[in-house]
């Protein structure tokens, strides 16, 4: 018998058609990672999430047929990639639901998706980018005007920029004398903002000031988005986005931190994953607009505290350990090359500042973008991401809390949930009890799953049509043909039948999905409630509710109120602002003042710890009901539901 250990096999992944040689016994997930084929895995290979489904078309794999799969699926060759081991040459098909849909709608329909992202950018700030290129025609030195070359340059730059103190690297200083003379004293200086200091990062021959680009990045736990900005005009040129490749090391922050701190080389793996994502987005935008990477001088980045740590390769381990302190909240600008981001060799990465270990730069960026810190109106800013964060305040104060809502509305924890990408159901309505269901998908593609805004509509519709009770239990006795007994005997509601779906399988919402979302919406609402209460306010005092997040392209506010995710306020007070984090990062890139404002916001914002508040648990239980246990808090919903019941009976 041959020794099993040394045997290697070839695994071919379809539809990518990528081959890889692996040792016998390697898991398919590991083989895929080696081949660079992406397979969804939320649990990072622990065999518990059941998302890494693949189909073995040819050859023999061992294991992986768990209770996450139905008997029919097992017969069809489905296994879990993290548990299935390679025992022969294999052909493995990665089905659509397990693939990384690499490009979101962003690229195909930028106008629709991002119209609302920048809704709040009504006041375009004065163009004053973090990194400026200044064309200078220096007077040639004479016996009378005998300033040295560097001082001559600084003097001219100081007149143009109004700043006094400069710094410059040795390499450029060494080249300066020759360069100035060879360019006949006509040069373009790149001046980067470092607070009171200005760094001259580059001096080029002639006038290149027309080519100055920046990239704003939102580093989400789930999705990474990049926006290309022309820093000479402040205009957005294009947007690209993709999934955060760190997902393969775990879907949530805690798993990522554990990977960074406990796996060998874990931190650098995570850093390479995220910088790789950012580089590929930048490359995509460069190709699209036919740019060289030297033209990009600035990257501004916003994300939660852990993501910012990972981006900079800083160990995030202490974030999750008492007393929960991060390594750096307001880092200075760093060389992009040092961070691993491929732009101009001397370009800088500006990270927006974090507030605390659980309130990150995405929140400060968002608050800055929506100008909450300047508003007279009491505003509640709700960011629904892989977690939920809430900021309450106005120009006098800002208080933030983190609601451990979980990623329910990001779709990653649900049976047929997905991120807001092509084919995701983002809106739907149920008519005529249950006979007619109309929906829209992102990009108009055949439906393959449901994204956050789709779930919000779905829950509201199930509730209004009596298909689900206020506790979120599907009504199995109402005679609906769409409600059936699903996996493990749990009830589920069929949203889209296999024949109408883009992946040949039913799209359903399960009882467990609903329970998950009930908790998530309860956590967000009660966080707002407790935070307001601790400040001596009620929801009625809130003049504006701004809902941010990339969980859809637009939010049906009525649905969000119906399920009790948002308070029952006059609807004109509630506004969806899209991805406010990237808006803020973009604003910082084009305005030094905005960048400083973000740092001031981070300094002035107070973090409120909800878990130690004695009323929080009670409020949470009370909010884990559709729309709320204290139904009087939702008068308009109460009325609408009562009307619904009447019309059903009549």
Partner 1 sequence: MAVPDTKEKWTGKVNTLTLGATSEQGGTRTSTVTIGGVGCLPSLEFEGPKGNRPAIAVEVWDGDGEAMPAPLRQVYGDSLKNVADWAKKAVEFGAEMICLKLQGTHPDAGDRSAEQACDDVKAVLGAVGVPLIVWGSGVNDKDNEVLPRCCQAASGENCLFGSITEKNYRTLVAACLADKHKLLAESPLDINIAKQVNILASDVGFALEDLVVFPTTASLGYGLEYVYSIMERGRLAALTGDKLLQQPVLCNIGFEAWRAKEARGTDEEVPGFGPAEKRGPLWEAATATNLFQAGADIFVMRHPEAIRMVSESLDEYYGPKGS
Does the protein bind partner 1 through residue 640 (CB under 8 A)?
no
321 or 473, CB closer to partner 1? Answer: 473
Q: How far is the CB of 459 from partner 1 (least distance, A)?
A: 16
Contact in structure between 562 and 637 (CB atoms under 8 Å): yes
What is the chain's alpha carbon radius of gyration, rounded to the nearest angstrom? 27
Q: How far is the CB of 403 from partner 1 (least distance, A)?
A: 18
Alpha-carbon distance of 409 to 514, in angstroms, equals: 11
Does the protein bind partner 1 through residue 618 (CB under 8 A)?
yes
Task: List, in sequence order, every beta strand (DSSP E) within 343-396.
Answer: 348-351, 379-384, 388-394
- The upper half-sphere exposure of residue 200, i.e. CA atoms within 13 Å in the direction of its Cβ, equals 29
46 or 630, CB closer to partner 1? Answer: 630
Among 78, 166, 409, 625, binds partner 1 (CB under 8 A): 625
DSSP class of residue 462? H
If one counts every other C-beta atom within 10 angstroms of the C-beta of residue 176, the result is: 19
Does the protein bind partner 1 through residue 5 (CB under 8 A)?
no
Among 126, 321, 377, 471, binds partner 1 (CB under 8 A): 471
Q: How far is the CB of 488 from partner 1 (least distance, A)?
A: 15
Q: How far is the CB of 464 from partner 1 (least distance, A)?
A: 12
Task: Specify the length of the chain in residues.
Answer: 650
Does the protein bind partner 1 through residue 394 (CB under 8 A)?
no
The footprint of partner 1 on this chain (CB under 8 A) covers a number of residues equal to 14
Q: How far is the CB of 466 from partner 1 (least distance, A)?
A: 9
Among 621, 635, 639, 643, binds partner 1 (CB under 8 A): 621
Does the protein bind partner 1 through residue 306 (CB under 8 A)?
no
Q: How far is the CB of 467 from partner 1 (least distance, A)?
A: 13
For strand 348-351 and strand 296-303, is the pairing parallel, antiparallel, or unpaired? parallel
For strand 436-441 and strand 424-431, is the pairing parallel, antiparallel, or unpaired? antiparallel
Does the protein bind partner 1 through residue 631 (CB under 8 A)?
yes
Does the protein bind partner 1 through residue 533 (CB under 8 A)?
no
Does the protein bind partner 1 through residue 648 (CB under 8 A)?
no
Does the protein bind partner 1 through residue 4 (CB under 8 A)?
no
Considering only the stretches 168-176, 434-442, 473-481, 560-568, report the one whose residues sit in contact with partner 1 under the rule CB under 8 A: 473-481
Among 19, 46, 60, 469, binds partner 1 (CB under 8 A): 469
- The 419-458 contact track toward partner 1, x by CB under 8 A, reads ----------------------------------------
232 or 475, CB closer to partner 1? Answer: 475
Closest-CA residue to 516 (of 619, 414, 384, 389): 414
Considering only the stretches 316-324, 338-346, 370-378, 619-627, report the one whose residues sit in contact with partner 1 under the rule CB under 8 A: 619-627
- Please tell me whether residue 188 adopts helix, strand or coil conformation: strand
Does the protein bind partner 1 through residue 615 (CB under 8 A)?
no
Closest-CA residue to 587 (of 300, 377, 374): 300
Does the protein bind partner 1 through residue 629 (CB under 8 A)?
yes
Does the protein bind partner 1 through residue 490 (CB under 8 A)?
no
Alpha-carbon distance of 296 to 291, in angstroms, equals: 9
Among 477, 572, 611, 612, binds partner 1 (CB under 8 A): 477
The two structure tokens encoding residue 517: 């979302």
Q: What is the dihedral of CA 360, 365, 366, 368, to 10 degrees?
A: 130
Considering only the stretches 339-347, 386-394, 412-420, 468-476, report the one whose residues sit in contact with partner 1 under the rule CB under 8 A: 468-476
Among 475, 575, 615, 636, binds partner 1 (CB under 8 A): 475
Largest CA distance in the chain: 100
Q: How far is the CB of 644 from partner 1 (least distance, A)?
A: 11
The residue assigned the tokens 């080389």 is 265
47 or 644, CB closer to partner 1? Answer: 644
The two structure tokens encoding residue 201: 């990062």
For strand 213-219 and strand 296-303, is the pairing parallel, antiparallel, or unpaired? parallel
Contact in structure between 254 and 261 (CB atoms under 8 Å): no
Alpha-carbon distance of 457 to 469, in angstroms, equals: 15
For strand 90-93 and strand 8-14, is the pairing parallel, antiparallel, or unpaired? parallel
412 or 629, CB closer to partner 1? Answer: 629
Considering only the stretches 179-187, 253-261, 408-416, 628-636, report the one whose residues sit in contact with partner 1 under the rule CB under 8 A: 628-636
Contact in structure between 180 and 187 (CB atoms under 8 Å): yes
Does the protein bind partner 1 through residue 62 (CB under 8 A)?
no
Alpha-carbon distance of 627 to 563, in angstroms, equals: 5
DSSP class of residue 162? -
Where helices occur in 538-634 by DSSP H, the ranges are 557-562, 580-590, 592-604, 616-623
- Which residues of the shown chain bind partner 1 in the complex (CB under 8 A)? 469-471, 473, 475, 477, 618, 621-622, 625, 629-631, 645
């Amino acid at each position: 018998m041959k020794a099993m250990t040394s045997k290697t096999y070839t695994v071919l992944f379809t539809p990518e058609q990528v081959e890889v040689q692996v040792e016998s016994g390697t898991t398919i997930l590991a083989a895929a990672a080696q081949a660079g084929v992406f397979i969804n895995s939320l649990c990072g290979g622990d065999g518990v999430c059941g998302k890494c489904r693949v189909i073995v078309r040819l050859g023999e794999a061992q294991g992986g047929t768990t209770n996450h799969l139905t008997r029919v699926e097992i017969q069809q060759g489905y296994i879990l990639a993290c548990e299935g081991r390679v025992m022969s040459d294999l052909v493995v098909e990665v089905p659509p639901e397990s693939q990384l849909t690499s490009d979101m709608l962003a690229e195909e329909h930028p106008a629709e998706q991002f119209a609302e992202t920048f809704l709040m950018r009504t006041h375009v700030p004065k163009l004053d980018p973090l990194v400026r290129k200044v064309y200078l025609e220096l007077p040639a030195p004479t016996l009378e005007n005998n300033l040295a070359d560097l001082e001559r340059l600084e003097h001219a730059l100081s007149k143009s920029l109004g700043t006094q103190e400069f710094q410059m690297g040795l390499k450029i200083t060494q080249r300066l004398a020759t360069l100035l003379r060879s360019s006949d004293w006509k040069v373009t200086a790149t001046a980067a903002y470092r607070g009171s200091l200005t760094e001259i990062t580059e001096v080029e021959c002639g006038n290149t000031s027309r080519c100055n680009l920046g990239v704003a990045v939102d580093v989400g736990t789930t999705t990474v988005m990049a926006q290309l900005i022309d820093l000479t005009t402040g205009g957005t040129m294009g947007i690209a986005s993709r999934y955060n490749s760190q997902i393969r090391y775990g879907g949530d922050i805690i798993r990522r931190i554990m990977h960074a701190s406990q796996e060998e080389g874990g931190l650098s793996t995570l850093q390479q994953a995220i910088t790789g994502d950012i580089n590929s987005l930048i490359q995509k935008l460069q190709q699209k607009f036919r740019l060289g990477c030297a033209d990009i001088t600035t990257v501004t980045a916003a994300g939660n505290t852990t993501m910012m740590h990972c981006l900079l390769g800083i160990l995030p381990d202490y974030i999750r350990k008492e007393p929960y302190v991060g390594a750096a909240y307001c880092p200075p600008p760093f060389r992009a090359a040092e961070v691993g981001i491929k732009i101009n060799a001397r370009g800088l990465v500006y990270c927006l500042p974090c507030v605390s270990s659980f309130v990150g730069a995405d929140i400060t960026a968002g608050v800055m973008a929506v100008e909450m810190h300047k508003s007279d109106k009491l505003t509640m800013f709700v960011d629904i991401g892989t977690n939920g964060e809430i900021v309450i305040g106005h120009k006098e104060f800002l208080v933030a809390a983190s609601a451990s809502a979980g990623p329910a509305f990001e779709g990653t924890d649900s049976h047929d949930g997905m991120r807001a990408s092509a084919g995701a159901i983002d809106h739907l309505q149920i008519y005529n009890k249950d006979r007619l269901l109309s929906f829209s998908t992102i990009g108009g593609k055949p439906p393959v799953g449901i994204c956050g805004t789709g779930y919000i509509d779905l829950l509201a519709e199930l509730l209004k049509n009596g298909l689900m009770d206020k506790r979120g239990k599907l009504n199995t006795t109402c005679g609906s043909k769409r409600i059936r007994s699903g996996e493990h005997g749990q009830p589920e509601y069929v949203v889209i039948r296999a024949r109408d779906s883009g992946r040949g399988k039913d799209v359903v919402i399960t009882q467990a999905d609903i329970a998950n979302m009930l908790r998530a919406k309860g956590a967000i609402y009660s966080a707002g409630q407790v935070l307001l209460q601790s400040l001596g306010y009620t929801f009625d005092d809130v003049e504006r509710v701004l809902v941010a997040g990339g969980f859809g392209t637009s939010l049906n506010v009525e649905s969000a109120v119906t399920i009790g995710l948002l308070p029952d306020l006059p609807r004109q007070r509630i506004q969806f602002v899209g991805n406010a984090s990237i808006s803020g990062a973009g604003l910082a890139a084009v305005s030094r003042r905005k960048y400083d404002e973000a740092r001031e916001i981070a300094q002035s914002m107070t973090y409120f710890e909800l878990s130690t508040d004695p009323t929080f648990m009670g409020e949470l239980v009370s909010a884990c009901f559709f729309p709320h246990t204290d139904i009087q808090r939702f008068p308009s919903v109460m009325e609408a539901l009562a009307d619904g019941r009447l019309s059903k009976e009549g």
